[in-house]
Structure 1
Amino acid sequence: MKQSLRVHRCSVFPEDPSAVQTLRYDPDSARLAVARADGAEQRGIEIWTYYNHRCWDQVAFIPQDEDRPVDVLEWTKYGLLLSAGANGFITSYCPKSCKVLANMDSGASAVWCMRKSPDGEHLAVGGEDGIVRIYEIIDTKTEMCLLYLKSFERQDKRVLSLSWHSKGKLLCTSGVSSIRIWNVETGRMHRQLSVSKEGRLETTVWSCLFLTDYTIVTGDSNGRINFYNGKLGALVQSIRKHKRDILTIAASKNERMVFASGVDPLVLAYENIRVGESDFEGKQEEWRRVWGHVLHANDVRQLEIVDREVVSAGVDRNIVVARQKKAANDNSKSSSILQSYRQSPVCSVSKEARLFLLQGSCQLDLWKMADAAALEDGMIDEDEVSSEAPVHIFSLKTEPLRVSTISPDGKWVAFSTAQKLRVYRVFNEDENVGLEKMVVDVAIKEAPLQLQFSPDSSILLYGTYSSELRSLKIDDDSEKLVAGPTLQAKEKTCETLRAIKFNRSGKFVASIGLSSYLFNLEKESMSLIPRAATAYTAANFIMDENGAETLLASTASRDIHEFNLDGEYTEWSNSSSIPPAWRSYRSKIVSIDQFGTQPILLCDNESFTFLDRSRGESKKLTKIRSAAHEKKSERSERKKEHQFGKHESLETEFTEICRWKYVLHAEAVSKDEILVVDRPVGEILASLPPAFHTKKFSNK
């Protein structure tokens, strides 16, 4: 970047990522549900789609409230998501519309475990009262999908974990000093396994697994992983490698490997290895540790198996994806981290009024941009940028938020909660700030997942599915907002809406989802945008030097696609080269923006990149970091020129501006100004609780 660039760097985002309470993977739909919470304060449930080891896409977010704690998750074979927690209620969700379908009291004062049967027909629920309840799972989208069938005999202590045998006739439960095998048909205990004590303290068995060969694997509060013969009820092997409680265990698909972790964040893998054979005992096998890695800084609360990966998450807020096993000559990276922040936009900008709206989980903050210092040589120094602080206009506390936006003229703010759509008129003149709540005179069946104002701020588009967009007419002289025209595809689909974008004239609208559409408002026509190999994560209309507009979209695999206004691929999209180094980043593009015909701004959660298509095509990536780093690079270049002679520098299309953590939003405000909303990683780490500490250089 040769020109100077003024940066509005805002580090006042009101929230940090929350700890992961639990997670659950559904192999049928390749989706991972992640529940986050800060103590009793529930943050929400994230829905991720799995493509490959380094390609995950957060497709949806379900906001939560304190009345619906989530301690355990489970998927049904009909695609619905179930949650339960300390209040004893079971809640069902539709992951596509991100709404609550029904609630049901389980009868237990608290639910600690919940797993469906191998055939997906039944659900077993264990809780505080020591009773295991069996429900039938039915196919319904309008009411509760569970029908009560039976209850097992009451235990004297709570049920903390349960696991089905692959045949579905037996079930294993664990709790405080108890491991039991149950007959599902009769509801009676089939066998009880002994649990050893250490001193006078009872042993808490936090987790259990029931393998196909009737081996029962447990993890307990002594840091031991135990292997029992379920047919005989005998302890076969006990291994103690963890210093503290093992909270979670998981088995690979072929059940030859078992993974364990907990308060001691060391993730250990054990493999069932054949050690010998005799005529009397037959094959002799033994569980042995094959690898161990500290993937987290704090407690690991849940492990899940995803294809050939093991996914772990816990108190340190990170979701880590690690390979189960690597080949001897494989030197590639074995683990990656999924982004902790929501992958949907958390900032909306009014360039005309120089305002930006930040969205927290239950709070909206409106800020006004101040003047920023101009930088020389077009370089950004994240430590030395001097600028005035943004001015805080107001805060608005609400119910858990889905999405929010501010109008281009800065006079309107709209947001959606789990139940309602709200629109406010903003008064901001002569330091007098006011809000007027507007009456939405429209029956809204489902709370919108996306909102977008038209360029002239006269229309508000909203929707839940990409095939149908509804609108509200915005009138300065009216106290009520009435319905406007509806944009609907020829075939209605139930694909989650990811984004709504107007072109600059307001004549075209792009509806982005798994199925994406381009609406022509003048001709009242619709075009279907071609699908990519992975889902689109961000999109926007851009303009070239000749004034022609196209639609630019990025995917979960960091591919860039360009379409004309007829929904067809452009020549650049068919012939462009994306730098492999840039494409290999794990962060997904969350926003695309352009001011005028300036270079296009692509933002992920760790950096922002300028795409200047006026430069020559190249697979190389230009990087601009701090001023000190650039001076060092210049000295290195001069040294090379002195030794080998001067060479021409290649200007590339893709120019990356610094690898920051965490960049939540980047948008071009003018031709030489950008707004960057980031969160200092030091503040995030400082808010973590103390980690488990082991003494070094000591025998005690």
Structure 2
Amino acid sequence: MSIDIHRCRFVDFNSHTVTSLAFSHKSNSKKFAPNELRLAVGRNNGDIEIWNPKKWIHEFTLYGGKEKSIEGLVWASKEGELPRLFSIGGSTFVTEWDLSTGLPLAQVDSNSSMIWSISINENQDKISLGCDDGTIVILDISGGPGSIEHYSFLQRQDSRVLSLTWKHNDYVIGGCADGKIKVWDVKTRGLISAMRVDKSKKETTLIWSVAYLPVIDQIVSGDSTGTVKFWQVENYTLLQSFKVHEADVLTLSSDLQNESLFSAGVDRKIFKFQYVNDKWIINSNRLFHSNDIRSITSYESKNFQFLISGGVEKTIVINSIKSFIDGQYKKISQFPQNQHFVFNKHQNLIIMWNDNLVKIWRLDDNNNHKLVAKMTLSDDDNISTAAISPSGEYLAIGRLTTTKLFKLTPKNNKLLISKVQHSNLLDKGSTNLKFYGNDSILLATPNNEIFQIPIDSNEDSEQEDIDEVEREFTLPDLTKKSKLSFLSSVNNLCIHNSKLIVSRICGAIDIIDLDTGLVSQFLRLSNSINKIELTSKGSLIVITSDNKIYEFELSTQRLSEWSTKNSEFLPYKYLSQDTPIGLFYDQNKLWIYGVNYLSFFDLSLNIPFSKKDKKRKYSGVIGHLEVNEQEIDEEIELEEDEDIIMDEDVDLKESNKLDFKKLNKDELSYWMTYKYKPLLFANLMESQGKDTTNLLVVERARFDSGENSFKLNQYRI
């Protein structure tokens, strides 16, 4: 069999700057991290990503919109209560988010000017806001989810409050644009102290970051001269000053015992300060990022001690507090783990969406590509999902608040896009979309409602007729079973004949019979679900959060013969990869791909068990106190163009062809390559012959290097 891999490098998908980072729970070295621990990652396109740090999976997205950059995040997490998330971003409003739907739960105006900074007190019941006009606003959030009330305004001063932190519950410390660190008493609302940093020769010094160290009762500041200063709280006097950074210090973070402090900013370096014999010393510095670091945060527990950083480079770097100097670190790709592409095989159309922009390319038989349509949506909300009909005639675009339908009409080698007026879609937000044939759309809303909506019902019917043909299906309520409400959210839709398979993050899979409307429970897994896919032989593939692959027979709801024999013996090199972006099935082969790899499993063959896989077990992640660094080190040293088939390495530097005839049949049960990266999308194209498989691979040209190509590699299997 021949596999032709068509490499597309013309897509211009752009990821976004990391602006803020925040863990959902406070550090506690005496307890293990709670199962509900999450990291919120704010980006400058207004999106907030919710990550599970135990396996570094991007589980959920709170979608933003145009000119709605996230500039600050805080969580409120009281013992026994679910964590609440608040954000600010270039406006006078603070937003609390509904983690079950991804929509704002409450928005409150500061009744002042634009908000620059946000912080939460030790009791987790009050939030402070630093504003452009010098005002400090205190909000009371003790009333529970959705409750945000004005508590007080602190004594106003004339400078922008660029950074904020609390001393316990009674004092607010602000870094201001006039080169001063100021302290307010929350009870009296008065300004009680001001500490001046060094003046810049050319302009006023800006205090971009402040932190309070409760164990040693000190304040730390980072400013626009690149200086980190330590202040005594008792007398508000300067203790030590370090001019270590070459440019602005934008962010600070401390460990739980206040023995280590980390600073970062425009010069890309992270400096570590160590508290030794009642004095701070510069311990070390490391360069993980290629551009400005906008945010750094840390978390410690019995089993974790993370140091996380992010910024203009758009990647998230995971480090360890205790082994910062010479320990392992991990970079999470700037490209999303969720899909931003759909492909229409019959028309050879690649559709990409990014924020509120949609682009459509057509591929021809001569390996050429052409941009045939481009559309920027008029409203500001970012796109959450998209789907194209099998005929290529209709395109559906979903946001969390609305869904729109467009008709694609060929004209002069282009596609004309015209909006289809469809009131039944407009009033429904969507997190997942699928076309059921060319006649109707299947839609999952943020509230986990499932609708089947005919496409043409509006053209010849009155409104009352539309209501009759629109169908709604009710899924079982799982919100009480999941401590984090978003875990019950629908994350995948698949269609098999007249059956709609619906999966949710928490591990639940249900089947909806589109003929009868009956909703039946299929599976309830203990692990969370990442991706699902249907095979042509009537089975369902499930990939869990730990990259395990399970195949279930739809008719019996039991594991298939292949899964029974192989699911617990998957190759280590596959299991140790980052979360897959997508998967698809063809001729017994299950193709799985992530940002840095492309692989397949032949479901008609058993995987040869390797002693190497049994010996080398992944004992943790970066920042986990039980990480075996030597084993990890052996795995991450991979050449950029290295191809791996089981445990054999194949060098592709001299040739783009692999001779599979020399390999045993069993070794083709599993195949993996690292050649295609960063990989954004992969799928099958229309085959030219019975013995040829055409595989489409979409890569992002690196560093905007001008690579704008459509290449073809041929493999013989």
Q: Give the alignment's TM-score, normalised by structure 2.
A: 0.81
Where 2:2 maps in the other structure, the secondary structure is coil
Match of 1:394 in 2: 373
Q: 1:363 to 1:192 in 2, by over 3 A?
A: closer
Query: Deviations for 1:409-454, whole angstroms, at most 9, x for unmatched residues?
Result: 2222111124311112333378574444333343766511111112
Pick aligned residue for 1:426 from 401, 405, 408: 408
1:124 to 2:128 alignment: yes
* 1:156-167 equivalence runs, <5 A: 156-165=158-167, 167=168
Pick aligned residue for 1:341 from 332, 335, 344: 335
Where 2:685 maps in the other structure, the secondary structure is strand
Cα distance in 1, alignment partners of residues 492 and 439 from structure 2? 16
Cα distance in 2, alignment partners of residues 138 and 567 from structure 1? 46
Match of 2:511 in 1: 519
Q: 1:265 to 1:571 in 2, by over 3 A?
A: same
Corresponding pairs, count: 629
Match of 1:413 in 2: 395
Where 1:97 maps in the other structure, the secondary structure is coil
Pick aligned residue for 1:36 from 6, 18, 43: 43
Asked if the contact 1:112–1:126 (Cα under 8 Å) also holds between the matched residues in 2, the reply is yes
1:506 to 2:487 alignment: no
Cα distance in 2, alignment partners of residues 126 and 505 from structure 1? 56
Cα distance in 2, alignment partners of residues 410 and 519 from structure 1? 27
Match of 1:617 in 2: 607
1:264 to 2:234 alignment: no
Query: Deviations for 1:181-209, whole angstroms, at most 9, x for unmatched residues?
Result: 22111111233334233557543221111
Query: Deviations for 1:22-72, whole angstroms, at most 9, x for unmatched residues?
Result: 2222127422222222xxxxx2313232233xx212222333334534322
Q: 1:433 to 1:510 in 2, by over 3 A?
A: same
1:666 to 2:682 alignment: yes
Match of 1:592 in 2: 583
Cα distance in 1, alignment partners of residues 308 and 474 from structure 2? 39
Q: Which amino acid aligns with 1:65?
A: G
Match of 1:380 in 2: none
Cα distance in 2, alignment partners of residues 425 and 631 from structure 1? 40
Q: Aligned residues: percent identity?
A: 20
Where 1:573 maps in the other structure, the secondary structure is helix
Asked if the contact 1:615–1:651 (Cα under 8 Å) also holds between the matched residues in 2, the reply is no
Where 1:401 maps in the other structure, the secondary structure is coil
1:219 to 2:222 alignment: yes
Match of 1:575 in 2: 565
1:486 to 2:472 alignment: yes
Quote how far apart the aligned CAs of 1:82 are: 2.3
Match of 1:438 in 2: 420
Q: 1:479 to 1:352 in 2, by over 3 A?
A: farther
Q: Give the alignment's TM-score, normalised by structure 1.
A: 0.82
Q: Whose relative contact order is higher, 1 or 2, with alpha carbons under 8 Å and at least 6 apart?
A: 2
- Which runs of no fewer than 5 residues in structure 1 stay unpaired? 38-42, 276-284, 372-386, 639-645, 687-700
Quote how far apart the aligned CAs of 1:6 are: 2.0
Query: Deviations for 1:377-408, whole angstroms, at most 9, x for unmatched residues?
Result: xxxxxxxxxx5222333222214311111112
Quote how far apart the aligned CAs of 1:508 are: 4.0
Query: Bigger CA drift: 346-355 or 247-256?
Result: 346-355
Cα distance in 2, alignment partners of residues 475 and 647 from structure 1? 53
Q: Which amino acid aligns with 1:579?
A: P
Query: Bigger CA drift: 436-445 or 302-311?
Result: 436-445
Match of 1:179 in 2: 181
* 1:252-651 equivalence runs, <5 A: 252-273=255-276, 275=277, 285-307=278-300, 308-326=305-323, 334-371=328-365, 388-398=367-377, 399=379, 400-428=382-410, 431=413, 433-442=415-424, 447-454=429-436, 456-464=437-445, 468-475=449-456, 478=459, 484-493=470-479, 494-495=485-486, 497-521=489-513, 524-533=518-527, 535-543=528-536, 547=537, 549-565=538-554, 567-576=557-566, 577-585=569-577, 587-595=578-586, 597-619=587-609, 622=645, 627-629=652-654, 651=667
Where 2:187 maps in the other structure, the secondary structure is coil
Cα distance in 2, alignment partners of residues 351 and 90 from structure 1? 45
1:104 to 2:86 alignment: no
Quote how far apart the aligned CAs of 1:573 are: 3.2
Asked if the contact 2:131–2:160 (Cα under 8 Å) also holds between the matched residues in 1, the reply is yes
Q: Give the CA RMSD over aligned residues.
A: 3.1
- Which runs of no fewer than 5 residues in structure 2 stay unpaired? 27-35, 480-484, 611-643, 688-692, 708-717
Match of 1:239 in 2: 242
Query: Deviations for 1:316-363, whole angstroms, at most 9, x for unmatched residues?
Result: 1111111112299xx8x6211122122221111222333232212222
Q: Which amino acid aligns with 1:411?
A: E
Cα distance in 1, alignment partners of residues 320 and 122 from structure 2? 25
Asked if the contact 1:86–1:109 (Cα under 8 Å) also holds between the matched residues in 2, the reply is no
